[in-house]
Every structure is written in C-alpha cells, then in structure tokens.
Chains A and B, each alone.
Chain A
C-alpha cells in the first residue's frame, strides 16, 4: 500500500534509467546511508567497528568484485583471495616508495596492479568456460600464493615474511597503523566501498555492463551484436580484479594491520564466493546482504551462549558455528537460489500489491 510506484510517472528516459527509480527506494537508501554515515559513527564502539563494520565493508567490496565477474559476466573465478593479495602487496610496495602520498590514493592505485594480473589470468577464459575456467583461476590462486612467499621483495624482506602496515596519513589524519582510530578507518572503508559501488552501478546500466551480461547469457548472439568476446571478458576480469585488489589493500591497511600469505588463501576465495552466491548473483545490493549475513552470523552465534548464560568451550562454539552457517547456506541455496537479493525483491513485490494481492 505504501510501497509502490503508482502515481510516480517518469517524464523522461533519464529519470527512468536512474539507479533507484522508485521514490520509496530512494528514501530507503537515504535511511541506510544515514545509518552507515551518521548513526554508526555516533554510536558504535570499537568492537563493533573493528570486528563487524570494517570487515563487512571490506568483504562487501570483494563480493562486488567477484559479482562483476561471476554475476554479470558469467565467468567463474576461485582466485579472489589471491587477487586481494596482489592489491595488498602492491599497496604495501607503493607506500614504501611513496610514504608521503595520501594512503587512500595508494589503495585505489593498488587495484591497477591486480587488474593487470587479472587480465593475464583472464586470458584462458577466451577458450574455456565454467568449471575448466575455475580450475585455471585456481592455478592463479596457487601461483600467486607461491609468489607471495617466494618473492621477499614484496614484503620488504621482513624476517616474519609478513606485511606490517606502517603509519600513514590521509588528508592529514592518521589513517593506518596502530594509532589510527577505528572510526577513521571505518569511514575510509565505507566511503571507498560506497564510491566503488556507485561506479560499478554506472557501468552495469551502460554499454559495458550490458556487454558483460550479453556474453554471460548467450555468447553467440552477443558476438552477432558486435560484441568482441575478448574485450568483454577481459574488461570484466580487469574491473573485477581491480575491485578485489582494492578490497585486499583495504583489508590489510584498514582492518588487519598486518598480513601474510594466509590472509589471501583459497579459504578467502571461497568465503567471497559464498557471500556472492548467497547475496545474489548479479545484484549489488545482494553483495552487501551476502557479506553482512555471512560475516555477522558467526559473530552472533559466538555471542549467543554467553548471552544465554550457557558455558560452552570455544572449540565447540566454532563447530556449531560451522554447522549452522553451512546448513543455512544450503537451505538458502535450495529455497532461493537467486540469493537474498531475490528474497528482498519478492518481499518488495508483495509489499507493492499489499493489501490487495489480486
């Protein structure tokens, strides 16, 4: 009754092509933005920022990156973790060479390196599809992990073999390192994630985004409409790996503070893949939902026994956690394979006709 577009007529194609054509969606978005940009910074404590909000933004961005490739261009990749690593190491080297440069700029620049690597490992996609492509991206994952260990130049020859994030400034404020406040780091990851989401949504509604979806849905017909498969696929790999790289750099510089090769292993690739599938392939909002769901749920489950006054060992909490999250993922995939975003759509559809469904 209250959520509907009745009476909202588009007077131009421009208005019709807006990202959120329905007025209520605009309000919903404004409310979410106010929550993320105002309410959270004013109310959240360090634990919430450090353990929930910052990683959620990092993983959301990584999920958007994978969604570009898998959800929009239809190319499966199991190398997300490693591409995040490329971004992180690139950022580390960049800030070593340019210690005085705004760290946000360097984080955004580090994605260029992962994009380059992504293009190289995307080349096989011109010949092979589906599972076979997944296997070549898996090879990329292992090769890059190997490189992260074997090329000590990447971590400045530290004895630990790890990246230690130095203190760096952004706009004169301490943004990284131990003395950067969680609030500063949260605001930075939030802004970068929202900004890149906006850029991607622009690509999606234009020619380039359509060329990805055309290749995904019917590559023969796409070619017939003049799409060059090489260009469409490699641009998807480039954009996707760029985003993965930026999220990897964010992960290390604004969240973990230090990282070694384990931070970019295959488990992370799968984590992002689950977030992507659960949130909904080909949905940007779904990327937020998927990342939030898979990241926050275990935290709630871990907190539950204490809240209920039950004493359980940490190990069994972890096991319960795995079982519940695993079961929920399977349940969701069976109940709604198109992900949380689709559930959200259905909910809105019901709301639109409520209270007169016929």
Chain B
C-alpha cells in the first residue's frame, strides 16, 4: 500500500534514481564554505565547510550544543552567518529569508515540532502547498473557478501524502491533540507537501519508541528513493545514522571535526573523543 501510494506521489520528483550512485558522482546542490555564526560571545558555528550532493542523505551529527540546528537555520535563512558563503546550485546566496528558501525548494522539520496547533492534520499538510497555489483574492473570495479547482487539485496531492504516511485516521484531528510521534509524522507530511528538492530534518526521531523510529526511517528512505529528494538529517541515534545516511558531517563545539562515509566517521578518533567527552 505504502509503495503504491508513494509511486503515485511520484509527481514529487518525476525521475527517481534507478541505481544508487555513490555520493561523489552526484552534482553538488548546496555548498557551505567557511561559515561562522556567533551570538554575542557564543560561537555557534566556526569556519565550517561541507557540501550536500543531489539525492543523497547527508547526516549532521554531534553532541548537544554542537551547532547542528544552527547550521540548518543558516541553510534556510533564519540565521545570517557573519562569515562564509552558501552556494545553492552554483549561485552564491545573498541575504536569505526563510520564505525565499521555501521558493527555492528547501523544506524543513523542527527539533521541537512546529506544527500549526489550531489546524487539522489536513490543513497543516495543505499549508505546505501554499506556494503552489496561485488563484487571486477575488476568486478566493467567491470560492469559484481557479480557486475552487486548485483547492481540489492540491487536496488530491495532500491525500496522496496522507496515504503515504499512513495517517488517514487523523485527517480531521486538530494536531494539538495528537501524540508526539504522530505530530512528527504530520510535520514530515507538511514538508513533503512542498515537494522540496532539499529536505532538512532536525531530529525527526527524537523521543520516539522503537516502532515509531522504524516507521520514520522507512518514510525517510522511501522519500529519498522514490522522490529523489535530497535529505539533510540531524540525528543522535547512531544506528539510524549508519543505516540511513550516505555521508556524515560531525560537528563539535561549532567546529567540523569529521566528514565522510558512516564507516569512516565512526572510526575517526576525533569523533570518538568528542562523543566520549575528551577535553580539547
């Protein structure tokens, strides 16, 4: 069922990669160069460089306070780094605003779920379609013609996502009443509704039980495989990181301490030290 539904949703990206290319064969979509970000005296990110390639799952790991969330906030324009450049599809970005990042195809979920509490699951996911809706104020006012057609058309897409994430039963529930695990799933649905090219996931499995984690892992793999969506994933569970990711960036105290395949990173002495809390 999941698979079928997912194939239908293929519109998210019409040509899923057939054979998995290794990361260095793929084109770079996002290039982070020498980025530094500080808040007053707190250096959240210090001179970090890495890239994200098309269609890969790129994990960003590191101990608490390492600067992972800050990195995502820089990528989608919430924070403006004091130094460094970010290049998106070969174009260096100037001042970034979150809604511009959205138009460029960058979607995101949050570490502390940031759903629209007063709205139903359906409306939350519909809200992900906002940028794709074009009908003007007058048609919306009378709910006629283009306004009505686009509402129906996008509702169809949203239903596909609901099927894909297996959340049909909570379609009408105000999200404020959902348990934590389902909230995270709805939030993923909302991001998917944007049909993003790059999906940033900030600890999508934090606080979940094993079963929920397995479900979520499956969804992430499916999204990546079937829609070809590039994913940047922050995750603390090393098992999950090893399973899901193609390449891993490791941050510690705002600095990049390792970058490579899961196996390389796992064997890296700096990484082991950082996780065991060896003094610098």
Question: Which residues does A use to contact B, with CB under 8 Å?
Answer: 12-14, 16-17, 199, 202-203, 205-208, 210-211, 213-214, 216-218, 220-228, 235, 282
Contact = CB atoms under 8 A, between A and B. Distances in A.
B135 A207 contact: yes
Nearest to B150: A207
B141 interface: yes
B93 interface: no
Contacts of A220: 78, 98, 114
11 contacts: A206-B147, A207-B133, A207-B135, A210-B123, A211-B127, A214-B119, A224-B102, A225-B128, A225-B190, A225-B194, A227-B130
Interface stretch (B6-14, B152-160, B208-216): B152-160
B130 A225 contact: yes
A223 B137 CA distance: 20
Contacts of B126: 210
Contacts of A208: 137, 140
Contact of A213 (B119, B137, B148, B159): B119
Contacts of A218: 114-117
Contact of A225 (B131, B135, B155): B131
Given A223-B98, A224-B108, 11 more contacts: A13-B155, A13-B159, A17-B152, A202-B147, A205-B151, A210-B126, A213-B119, A221-B114, A221-B115, A223-B97, A225-B102
B99 A223 contact: yes
B99 to A, nearest CB: 5
A217 B119 contact: yes
Contacts of B141: 199, 202-203
Contact of A216 (B101, B110, B118): B118
B102 to A, nearest CB: 4
A206 B142 CA distance: 10
A205 B143 contact: yes
A202 B141 CA distance: 6
B76 interface: yes
A114 B141 CA distance: 19
B64 interface: no
A218 B115 CA distance: 7
B258 interface: no
B103 interface: yes
A210 B140 contact: no
Contacts of A206: 133, 135, 140, 143, 147, 151
A281 to B, nearest CB: 9
Contacts of B248: none
A28 B99 CA distance: 42
Contacts of B110: 221
Nearest to A216: B118
Contacts of A225: 102, 127-128, 130-131, 190, 194
Given A220-B98, A224-B76, A226-B102, A207 B130 contact: yes
B107 interface: yes
3 pairs of A and B residues whose beta carbons are closest in the complex: A226-B131, A226-B102, A217-B116
B16 to A, nearest CB: 24
A327 B243 CA distance: 61
B155 A17 contact: yes
Contacts of A282: 118
A202 B140 contact: yes
B177 to A, nearest CB: 13
Contacts of A235: 137
Contacts of A224: 76, 98-99, 101-102, 107-108
A22 B18 CA distance: 46
Contacts of B130: 207, 210-211, 214, 225-227
A221 B123 CA distance: 14
B225 to A, nearest CB: 25
Most central of B115, B137, B159 by chain A CB within 10 Å? B137
Contacts of B76: 224
Given A211-B130, A227-B130, A221 B151 contact: no
Contacts of B103: 226
B140 A203 contact: yes
A200 to B, nearest CB: 9
Contacts of B142: 199, 202
Most central of A17, A221, A235 by chain B CB within 10 Å? A221
Nearest to B117: A217
Nearest to A223: B98
Most central of A199, A206, A222, A282 by chain B CB within 10 Å? A206
Contacts of B115: 217-218, 221
